[in-house]
Structure 1
Amino acid sequence: MSERFYLYDDTVETKTRFVSFMGENSRFDLAIVKSDRYYGKYLVMNLLSSRFAIIGEDDLNEPGYIEHAFSLEEDEATELREFLYEMV
């Protein structure tokens, strides 16, 4: 077996928030991770769909980003986007 080539292998301190809420259209169970990585953005994981994205305010303003990243319909994405705006 050849030697493994690491691009990086770091251990960092994180702050993780687990939140579950019911919107008008669907339920969200999220893990939101904040660290020194990702240029101040959050790693947002939807535990129900096993989808995740690195999200900052610029991403929330990008049309279609939340819909695509979490495979959501427009009304569901609007609920998630509104919640995430409170966080960033």
Structure 2
Amino acid sequence: MTERFFLYDDVEETKTRFVSFMGDNQRFDLAITKTDRHYGKSLVLDIQGGRFAIIGRDDLEEPGYLEHAFSLNEEDAQELREFLEEDVLS
């Protein structure tokens, strides 16, 4: 086996919030990790759907970002967007 070439291998203190809420059409089970690693953005993991994205306020304003990242329709993405704007990224 050849020697591994690491681009980086860092350990960082993080804060993770686990939250579950019911939207109009679906349940959201999220793990939201805050770290300095991604320029102050949060790592948002959809536990049930197995998807994740690095999200900051600018990403929430990007049309279609949440729909694509979490494979959501517009209505469900809007519920997630509102939650993240109000409770997480404020």
TM range, smaller chain: over 0.9
Distance 1:21 1:6 in 2: 38
CA shift, 1:36, in A, is 1.1
Is structure 2 residue 56 aligned with structure 1 residue 79?
A: no
CA shift, 1:25, in A, is 1.4
Is structure 2 residue 35 aligned with structure 1 residue 63?
A: no
Distance 2:4 2:37 in 1: 23
For residues 30-41 of structure 1, what are the structure 2 equivalents within 5 Å?
Answer: 30-41=30-41
Distance 2:43 2:23 in 1: 21
Which residue in 2 is equivalent to 1:48?
A: 48
Structure 1 residues 26-80: Cα deviation after superposition (integer angstroms, max 9, x where no partner):
1000000001110000000000100000000000000000000000011110000
RMSD: 0.5
Q: TM-score, normalised by structure 1?
A: 0.98
Runs (4 or more) in structure 1 with deviation over 3 Å come to none
For residues 2-17 of structure 1, what are the structure 2 equivalents within 5 Å?
Answer: 2-17=2-17
Q: For residue 39 of structure 2, give the secondary structure of its aligned residue in structure 1.
A: helix
Instruction: Give the length in aligned residue pairs.
Output: 88
Gaps of 5+ in 2: none
